[in-house]
Structure 1
Amino acid sequence: MEILIMPIAQLFPLLSNLSRVDKLRVIEFLVSELAKEEDLANLEPKDNYFEMLHNSDEGARQLAQFLEEQKKLQNA
């Protein structure tokens, strides 16, 4: 499997075109990677953060609010 490396400036537009679910999966992946790097005991990589967020009404509401705020900032 070939690993492609691209500048982050090229990555952001690709990420912005993802569906909401895929954006959450990217967040889950990044949190898991950070947890591995930081060796955080309370963020085990085996945990399914996406499912926890998906099943949490409050978490979903907060994330939706955050995404709306980010969208407004980008459009300003």
Structure 2
Amino acid sequence: MSIAELLPILQNLSRTEKLQIMKFLVQQLADEEALSLQPGATYNVWSPFNSHDAALKLAALLEEDRQANDG
């Protein structure tokens, strides 16, 4: 069934049924996310530490904004 066929059916559901569908879909997404993470595995996570270029850019943007708002 395509999404184009499914949307009109979903629109006709009661509020309770829509909430049940939402709960089901959120659980499905959570389950899929959990499958992609492996216990004991190492994952790279971005951190702002040692991001000096980003800090300089942010400082410049904040200064521009301050000057624009000060008139």
Q: Which structure ranks higher in relative contact order (CA pairs < 8 Å, sequence separation ≥ 6)?
A: 1
Q: Normalized against structure 1, the TM-score is what?
A: 0.44
Larger radius of gyration: 2
